[in-house]
Amino acid sequence: MNLYFGSDHGGYKMKGALVDYLKEAGHEVVDLGVFTDGSVDYPDIAREVCEKVIENPGAFGFLVCGTGIGMQMSANKFKGIRSTVATDEHMAEMSRKHNNANVLTLGGRTTDLEKAKAIVDKFLATDFEASEERHVRRVEKIEGPLGG
């Protein structure tokens, strides 16, 4: 499983720590930047990570900005991306189980590192409940035009 990481300046430190944490745990991680804490436009980083997730079925993306909100909004513009911001393990778990989320966004300025590690661990450990028709149906509706 490929894990693609990206951040803006607000998530730079947390992203680096999470990349190291997951590499030490034996995961294959690709860090797409940023590599300094200089100001950047987070939609550009979200695009890079989302393109990789779309190109590599089964991959997950992780985006870190100040709050996770801007990255989530940017990521969800891409067809095939189901991005969630999570502030605790329950949100990460439910986003995977019920929504088949493939991108997790975190707040580098709003979530402490140990909590972020627990959220990432829960996200990676949780499978989509594909045997539940209602979840499959709802994800299909997310992927298509809503209301039609």
Catalytic annotation, residues: 65, 98
- Single-letter code of the amino acid located at 17: A
Q: At what angle do helices 89-99 and 133-143 cross, to 10 degrees?
A: 90
- DSSP H helices in the chain: 12-24, 42-55, 69-75, 89-99, 113-125, 133-143
Tokens representing residue 36 in the block: 């300094």
Contacts 24+ apart (CB under 8 A), 22-27: 22/120, 27/1, 27/3, 27/124
CA–CA distance, 30 with 50 (Å, rounded to integer): 13
